[in-house]
Amino acid sequence: PGKDPSAPYFRLVILREITLWDYLKNLPNLRRGKEISHPEIQYERTASIDITSSSKVLLGEIDGELIVGNSFQLAFSDQLIHVIG
């Protein structure tokens, strides 16, 4: 929510102990991308993210491509490829 697509940072939403009722009650706002005021929800900005699992294989998706592994490192780059069509 509230992320400027041109800004070089990730906008993280960290969910902790959310009940099914809280999820269903806030689903319309989640779909609209609105921030939810809840003690178990935290919003952060960061330029990079490291995700590691010590026990399970992680599945992810980047631009429609499936990625599989035990750890991922995501970061913004100033080296962009511009496609002119």
List pLDDT tens digits, range 29-38: 878 888 888 8
pLDDT at 80: 63
Q: Determine the straight-line distance between the first and last CA of the chain, rounded to whole angstroms.
A: 30
Structure pTM? 0.56
Q: What is the pLDDT of residue 39?
A: 92
Instruction: Say yes or no to pLDDT of 23 above 80.
Output: yes
Report the candidate in 48, 47, 51 with the shortest Cα–Cα distance to residue 71.
51
Question: What pLDDT is recorded for position 2?
Answer: 64
Per-residue pLDDT, 26: 86
